[in-house]
Amino acid sequence: MEFRSYVERNQEVVDFVRDVTPGHIDKYTGTLDYACARFNTILLKLSQHPLKADEHSNDVAECFNIIQSFYEYTKRLIDTHWIFSPIFNLILHYKGKVHIPKIKILLDKVNNY
């Protein structure tokens, strides 16, 4: 997949973060904001180095899927009945501790070139 399609498909997440009421940004929306910013930085750096982009194409796809999954569960948390919110909080906490750091690790790899 080329980088333009990642950016276009990730635009929904960026719009969601932007449209959150100012001053009402919680930890999950903030995590999405940082993850999207890091992901876009990764795409920008890799677009300047096509050989490295081929090398990290699987990692980029994985990071994209992580962001999309975190976004879907954040939307579910907001839209669900309060009884189910602890379940989604637990899932988001796990994803935030285990999956989201992979984006920072990839950014560090890309920055070291």
Residue 1 has pLDDT above 90, yes or no: no
* Residue 69 domain-assigned (yes or no): yes
* Residue 66 domain-assigned (yes or no): yes
Are 106 and 63 in contact by the 8 Å Cβ rule? The answer is yes
Q: What is the reported pLDDT for 22?
A: 67
Element (H, E) at 46: helix 27-48
Expressed as residue numbers, the domain containing 94 is: 3-16+26-111
* Residue 21 domain-assigned (yes or no): no
* Residue 43 domain-assigned (yes or no): yes
For the residues 42-51, what does the mean pLDDT come to? Answer: 91
**What's the residue count for the chain?**
113
- pLDDT tens across 85-109, in order? 999 999 999 999 999 999 999 999 9
Q: What is the reported pLDDT for 62?
A: 96
The pTM of the full predicted model, rounded to 2 decimals, is 0.90
Q: How many domains does the chain have?
A: 1
- Rg, Å, the chain Cα set: 15
d(CA 90, CA 106): 25
Closest CA to 17 of 3, 42, 38, 37: 37
As a whole-number percent, the residues of the chain with pLDDT over 70 amount to 94
Mean pLDDT, the chain, rounded, equals 90
Are 17 and 35 in contact by the 8 Å Cβ rule? The answer is no
